[in-house]
Structure 1
Amino acid sequence: MTDLIVVGVDGSGRSLRALVWAAHEAALRRCPLRIVHVVPSEHEYAATPEGRAWEQSHRDRGVLAEAEAIAKDGHPGLEIDSTRPHGAPSAVLLAESEHARAVVLGAKGLGGFGSLLLGSVALQVVGHASSPVVVVNHVATGHHRVVVGADGSEHSQGALAYAFEQASLRDAQLLAVHAWSHPGPPALVSAAQDAEAMERRQALDEWLAPLREEHPGVEVMEQVTDEDPVLALARASDRADLLVVGSRGRGGFRGLALGSVSHHLLQFSQCPLAVVRPRPRRTAA
C-alpha cells in the first residue's frame, strides 16, 4: 500500500502534535493513517530483564492506544493502522517511507524518533526518505497559505509539485519564494542587479507555469528577493500553515542528502516543514 500517511509517535507532546497533523492530512486525502512506535532495545524502568520487558511492553501499548484514540476522536471515519516494530527508528521509518505519501515526525521526542531536532535520526529520515517528510514543530492553522521555496533545482521542482498539491488540497493560497544572497552590501543596487532580479522573476514564472495549468484553482503569489533564503523562508513561514522545501538546492554538494537551507529551516520554521526529495527513478527491467 502506498496511499497512506505514516506518523512516528513516542508519547511526547510534540509527537502527539505530529499525530494530530498527520491524522488531519490523512483525512484530507481520504487515505489510511499508519501509526508507528518503535520499541527501544533497552529500558531503564525495571531492574531485571523480565521486568524491563514487561514494563516496556505495557508502556508501548499505552502509547499506541493513546495515539489511536486521539486520531479516532478527531476523525471518526479515518482508517487507522498501528504497529510496534523493533529496530533502529531511522531504519524503520525509512522503510515505511517507501510505501507512504508522507512520513510525519515531531520536532523532538522522548528518545525515539527525534530526541534531538538535528540529531542523526531526524537528519537520516529527512535526508533519505523516499516520501516527503513533514516535521511538526510549531502547529499553525488559519493562515490558509502554503509557502514553498523555489530555485529551479530538481529537488525544488519536487517541492513545487508537492506544494501545489497541498495548496489545492487545503484550498489555500500558494506563496512561491525565490531568494538568493547577492555578494556585496545589499544597499548597493546596480542596473546589473535589477536585470538579474528580472531574470530570476522570469525564471520563477517558467518554473510555476506548468503547475499553474495543472492546478488552475490555486491562487499563486510570487516573492523574488535578494535575501538569504533561510531568512526569507523562515519569515514567510510565520504566516503559513505549511512550508515546503526541497531537501537540497542548487548550492549543495552532490551526494549530500540535506542542503543547508532545509537543514536550518528544521530549526527556524514557524510552521510544519515538509522536506521533499525527488522520487527515485525506476529503471526498466
Structure 2
Amino acid sequence: VGSRGLGAFGSLLLGSTAVHLTAHGRCPVLVVRGRPDPSGAVLLAVDGSPAGEAAVEFAFAEALLRGVDLLTLHVWNTRSERAYEGPGDPLNAVVDIERLRQEEQRLLDEIVAPWQERYPGLVVERRLVRSRVRPSLIEASRDAQLVVVGARGRGGFTG
C-alpha cells in the first residue's frame, strides 16, 4: 500500500489505510513511501516476542539481498510509551535502571546473535534506546531504505 491517503491528516507519516492495514493485517504488509534512490540500511525493530521472529529472519535476508547493513533497534522504557531520564526520574528511587538496561541489552543480543552467526558477512549494528517506541522508530527510519517490524507481540492487545 502507499504511505499517504488523501485524508485531513496530511502531516502523518502514513495514511489511515496504511496504519489500519499494518495494525490489523494477518499477513506481511509492505508500505511504500516513495523515495527515488534508497541507499540506507535495513532497519529491524526488535521486541523479543515470538511473533517478531519472522521479522528478524526476513530483515537479515533482505539486508543481505540488498547488499546493505542491518540496523537492529530495540526501544525500551520503564512505562508504556513514557520514558523518564535523569536524576529526577521517580523510578530511580525504586528501580535499578542500569540493571533494566542490561536486561534489555541482553534481550537484544540474544535475538540478534544467532542470526548474525548465520549471516557472517552482514554488517549488523545493535542499537538500544531508552525512549518511547514510536518517535524512536520514526527517527531511526529516516535514513532506512526498508523498515521491518514484527507483529507487536509483547503487548496485551493485537494491532
Cα deviation, residue 150, structure 1: 0.6
Aligned to 1:175: 71
Matched, 1:128 2:32: no
Cα deviation, residue 123, structure 1: 2.4
Aligned to 2:9: none
1:160 to 56, 59, 72: 56
| 1:248 counterpart SS class | coil
Matched, 1:106 2:2: yes
Q: Alignment identity in percent? A: 32
Task: State the TM-score, normalizing by the size of structure 2.
Answer: 0.78
Cα deviation, residue 126, structure 1: 6.0
Aligned to 1:197: 101
Cα deviation code 1:176-210 (max 9, x no counterpart): 11112224632237481111111111111111122
Aligned to 1:212: 116
Aligned to 1:141: 38
Gaps of 5+ in 1: 1-104, 111-115, 259-285
Counterparts of 1:60-99 in structure 2, within 5 Å, are none
Aligned to 2:126: 222
Q: Relative contact order: is structure 1 or structure 2 higher (C-alpha 8 Å, sep ≥ 6)?
A: 2
| 1:249 counterpart SS class | coil
- What is the CA–CA distance in structure 2 between the aligned matches of 1:174 and 1:207, rounded to whole Å? 14
- What is the CA–CA distance in structure 2 between the aligned matches of 1:217 and 1:243, rounded to whole Å? 20
Contact 2:4 2:16 in 1 (8 A): no
| 2:106 counterpart SS class | helix
Counterpart residue identity of residue 113, structure 2 = A
Cα deviation, residue 127, structure 1: 2.7
Aligned-residue CA RMSD in angstroms? 2.5
Cα deviation code 1:117-175 (max 9, x no counterpart): 223x8624763343x211012426122x0111111112222211111011111111111
Matched, 1:244 2:148: yes
- What is the CA–CA distance in structure 1 between the aligned matches of 2:138 and 2:22, rounded to whole Å? 21
Aligned to 2:11: none
Counterparts of 1:243-262 in structure 2, within 5 Å, are 243-253=147-157, 256=158, 258=159
- What is the CA–CA distance in structure 1 between the aligned matches of 2:26 and 2:4, rounded to whole Å? 18
Equivalenced residues, count: 143
Gaps of 5+ in 2: 7-13
Contact 1:178 1:204 in 2 (8 A): yes
Q: Tell which structure's C-alpha radius of gyration is larger.
A: 1
Contact 1:126 1:133 in 2 (8 A): no
Counterpart residue identity of residue 72, structure 2 = A
- What is the CA–CA distance in structure 1 between the aligned matches of 2:149 and 2:126, rounded to whole Å? 15
Task: State the TM-score, normalizing by the size of structure 1.
Answer: 0.45
Aligned to 2:86: 187
Contact 2:5 2:16 in 1 (8 A): no
Runs of 4+ in 1 over 4 A off after TM superposition: none
C-alpha distance 252-148 of structure 1, shift in aligned 2 (>3 A): farther
